[in-house]
Structure 1
Amino acid sequence: MLDMLSEKEKKMIMEDLVKIQNNGTVEVHVAQNAPVATELLKLDAIDFSYSEFEDDIYGFNKSIPKLKIAMLVVGTRGDIQPFIAFAKRLQEFGHHVRLATHVNFQNFVRSAGVDFYPLGGDPRIMAGYMVRNKGFLLSRPAEISIQRKQLKEIINSLLPACTEPDLETGVPFRAQALIANPPAYGHAHVAEALGVPLHIFFTMPWTPTSEFPHPLARVPQSAAYRLSYLVVDLIVWWGIRGYINDFRKRKLKLPSIAYFSTYHGSISHLPTGYLWSPHLVPKPNDWGPLVDVVGFCFLNLGARYQPSKEFEQWLLRGSKPLYIGFGSMPIEDTKKITCIILEALRETGQRGIISRGWSDLGSISQFPTDVFFIDDCPHDWLFPRCTAVVHHGGAGTTAAGLRAGCPTTVVPFFGDQFFWGERILARGVGPQPIPISELNVDRLSNAIKFMLEPEVKLRAMELGKQIENEDGVVGAVNAFHRHLPTKLPIPPFPPASEELPHPFQWLLTVIEKWCCLPFTML
């Protein structure tokens, strides 16, 4: 049907369906009987039956082989930390786990007793880029070179992370299975080249569903929720396809994938585990047996933490304080944000702990005695000592605050942070999220007052007990074992077709005109 339309008609339909917003998100509109939506949804079909798949995985009672597992994880500390907990538990089963991530986290990984291998990309540069561009779908012309450099470094480091000896000991390593998060673009291609299974784990939804939109999309109509995942997949694939094909040819010795092949950015055909509590976001009804919602994965660093005497004494000096911090998020005007926080605390009569974070909040000459500035402090130690928390909405910080029974205000910067803020609002354990660009004294003061309402605290404590009773780390390990194929290693996938499918060529051509090269999620 779409082939019969003129280019002008196709463009008009596409413009009615998808608009890339200045805040870095994709806005998806579905007009009645939109042919584009119908054609795109055909991409959602999976080429095997679930019953066939389930016959080819381990049951819990079957023996699990001891494997060399490479974890490929891209992101900030909050993205890395749950995978460290996951890796430690896998090692208890006798697996040899190598966690490959940015060199910034080398000491963090090794201090947990997990082997480390460096991936390319600098999370500080990436986070700064993401904040400046309000997400991963848009970039200023002057920053395209930053995108390209970071993305190439990540992709080109994936194969050595799975095959090279340990950089310190020289002990040989060749992965027999891969675990990755979606921003480690190229994971599926490395698995194909090595002929090993790949299991995706992530802290935000990436599998199409009709129950809520993609976290990077703004979708007015619920009918377009599922479609939003396909659109984001296609935009991502369009941006990375050149680097992926160069990687396949030069490094992996695999044939190129046709530029207009569809769905090569998708994970829907792969076993996928989501690292959040089903009590916060239940598994959607349209996610099949390939997908698991395993629970939050906590590393539990608080048992070894020893606060300074000054901090201990300050905590004992008065009522439970609020926590306010934005973790790895870079803030352009730290003095302005610090002043907003201090004034909101004064207006509401609350004591406050302010985490300096990567942006070094609190660089002012004087501040009240009922405010304490901290650097690094384990959330699982700190949050139970707080009455409520205000943060950027990273998945890990969100999990720690909710487990501690803390009402939560999310101040999102980009990406899935908006999603978590909306989930907290829906559960009644926090107010409407306040985007960082809209943060002011009145809104923050009102959010604090909302969190201090007794019924809000009660709901937060009930949710905290439910999360505390889960074990997401065990759930993740069980999911990984359950989805292993019966024979290892599995043979490589057949070469991808070089034929150009129609009518999607025009779709991707239009997308290319609208957006620059997308970058990784954090």
Structure 2
Amino acid sequence: MKVLLTSHGSTGDIYPVIRLGRALVEAGHAVRFATVSLFRQEIEAAGIEFVYLPPDWDQSGFAEAMRDLTKAKNPLDLIRIIYSESLPFLDEILDTLQREIAEADVFVTSYVFANLCTLARQAQVPCAVTTFAHNVVPSQSYPPEGLPRLLAAPACVRRRWNRMLWKLTDRVLCWQINRVVGETMGRHGMGQAESFALEPADLALVTVSPKLCQPKHLWSERFQFTGYLRWQSPEDPELSASLDAFCQGERVPILTFGSVTFDEARKVMTRFMRNWPAGKKIIIQSGWAGLTIERPNPEMLRMGRVSHDQLFQYASMVIHHGGAGTTASVLHAGIPNIIIPHIGDQWFFASEVKRLGVGLEVKRKRWPEDLPKAVRTVEKSKKMQRRAQAVAATLAEEQGPLAAVRALESLVR
């Protein structure tokens, strides 16, 4: 089976697709991954053939784009910004994908760019999307994220209400996409986007835990919960030595915002250092935002790029932005979360962490001042720690990559 994968975005958008590609390679399939050159090394190290797509930005270029995304006022505005960012490169992207799809047996794209499946349909190639956040999965059991629930109404009324809101949301999202890129899509014979949320592709791989996250009622059988797809950078023995020397056998809080960037990061970190308890250790991962330690402090260790699995072995808890990949890593590590959402589905993951009983949320506006109290709360909660370990035990039994490969093989058959 010849598989063409594509995804755009930050590390959290690319690494799960690398894991899917690696699983497909291990199953004996030929895999090509079309994306930006920033991730070429990781893709080829996984045994996957790389196909170049623009833009040819370095990490600073993507960090700037991420700062723009944090300014989105709502999900519709977020879609507008994402598609507007792609517009200068879209003709070349579509030309490349049309050429590559013609040689593929199945095409897999990210949920955000589900309209690319039109290219596969033109070539009569089965298509699938991947989504790392299950709040986009439609169901008559609940409305789209952020829209009102009729909790007091009879079940039949709630189902009608939810169906109506999902259909309306689908139309509005398609309208926004067509408004931004409809002309470019038309030049490639793709027509207008007709369904984004309800029928994004022949198959939608929902790459989160089916045991912990799947609703009782799905919109259709095209949505399949596989389990997490996690890809890790290689572990560094020198970093382990540095972490061992700093922690001295003690588990400490870890602060990481991953690929999230935001304005005035230096001033935010100055506030953080002013409020962090004296004498209390913490590890800070600099990430794309370039988090800094303003002055030497023996209780603070700053790290650069490092595997989540390697770093989180030293964590008593992880303070993070609520990205899909980071949240998955913390859940697998069996430690509590403190989530400070910045963008998009990160508020949803904060609510999921609270639902699972494995963490809490701190508001972004005053997090440097409010974080010490939240850390004390987590440290005192034996229940939260036990629940985190139970969730990790559940996830250890799931095999997301294998389930995703089988779903794609079934689609092609």
TM-score (norm 1): 0.69
Cα distance, 1:77 vs. partner?
0.3
Q: Does 1:476 align with 2:412?
A: no
Cα distance, 1:300 vs. partner?
4.0
Superposed, which structure 2 residues align to 1:318-397 within 5 Å?
319-343=250-274, 345-346=276-277, 350-364=280-294, 366-397=295-326
Superposed, which structure 2 residues align to 1:98-497 within 5 Å?
98-121=32-55, 123-138=62-77, 148-154=84-90, 156-164=92-100, 174-205=103-134, 206-215=136-145, 217-221=146-150, 223=158, 225-242=162-179, 245-251=182-188, 253=189, 256-257=191-192, 263=195, 266-267=198-199, 270-302=202-234, 304-308=235-239, 311-317=242-248, 319-343=250-274, 345-346=276-277, 350-364=280-294, 366-431=295-360, 433-441=361-369, 443-452=370-379, 453-484=381-412, 486=413
CA distance in 2, matches of 1:228, 1:419: 18
Q: Which amino acid aligns with 1:480?
A: L
Q: Over the residues paired in the alignment, what is the CA RMSD in angstroms?
A: 2.8
Does the residue aligned with 1:354 lie in a helix, a strand or coil?
A: strand
| Residue equivalent to 2:154 | none
Q: Which amino acid aligns with 2:71?
A: R
Q: 1:125 to 1:336 in 2, by over 3 A?
A: closer
CA deviation vs aligned residue, 1:329-361 (integer Å, no higher than 9, x gap): 1121223332344355416x6421111111111
Q: Greater CA deviation, 269-278 or 350-359?
A: 269-278
Cα distance, 1:363 vs. partner?
4.9
**Contact 1:276 1:293 (8 Å CA) reproduced:** yes
Q: Does 1:80 align with 2:7?
A: no
CA deviation vs aligned residue, 1:120-158 (integer Å, no higher than 9, x gap): 35643431211122455338xxx97x9635235246403
Q: Does 1:92 align with 2:23?
A: no
CA distance in 2, matches of 1:274, 1:149: 25
Q: Greater CA deviation, 224-233 or 291-300?
A: 224-233
Does the residue aligned with 1:483 lie in a helix, a strand or coil?
A: helix
Cα distance, 1:88 vs. partner?
0.8
CA distance in 2, matches of 1:465, 1:409: 20
Q: Report sequence identity in percent.
A: 22
CA distance in 2, matches of 1:238, 1:150: 17
Q: Which amino acid aligns with 2:210?
A: P
Q: 1:328 to 1:81 in 2, by over 3 A?
A: same
CA distance in 1, matches of 2:222, 2:83: 32
Cα distance, 1:450 vs. partner?
2.4
Specify every segment of 5 or more residues in structure 1 that has no aligned partner in the other structure, as ranges. Answer: 1-66, 166-172, 487-522
**Contact 1:210 1:286 (8 Å CA) reproduced:** yes
Q: Which amino acid aligns with 1:209?
A: S
**Contact 1:208 1:227 (8 Å CA) reproduced:** no
Cα distance, 1:117 vs. partner?
1.7
| Residue equivalent to 2:155 | none
Q: 1:214 to 1:153 in 2, by over 3 A?
A: farther
**Contact 1:110 1:116 (8 Å CA) reproduced:** yes
Cα distance, 1:162 vs. partner?
4.9
Structure 1 or 2, whichever has the larger Rg, is 1
CA distance in 1, matches of 2:108, 2:364: 33
**Contact 1:295 1:470 (8 Å CA) reproduced:** yes
Q: Which amino acid aligns with 2:346?
A: Q
Q: 1:111 to 1:154 in 2, by over 3 A?
A: farther
Q: 1:240 to 1:418 in 2, by over 3 A?
A: same
CA distance in 2, matches of 1:82, 1:238: 29
Cα distance, 1:296 vs. partner?
0.8
CA distance in 2, matches of 1:155, 1:424: 40
Cα distance, 1:421 vs. partner?
0.6
CA distance in 1, matches of 2:125, 2:336: 43
CA distance in 2, matches of 1:391, 1:470: 24
Q: 1:335 to 1:124 in 2, by over 3 A?
A: closer
Q: 1:111 to 1:392 in 2, by over 3 A?
A: same
Which structure has more helix as a fraction of its residues?
2
Aligned residue pairs, count = 397
Q: Which amino acid aligns with 2:335?
A: C
Q: Which has the higher contact order (CA 8 A, sep 6+)?
A: 1
Q: Which amino acid aligns with 1:419?
A: F
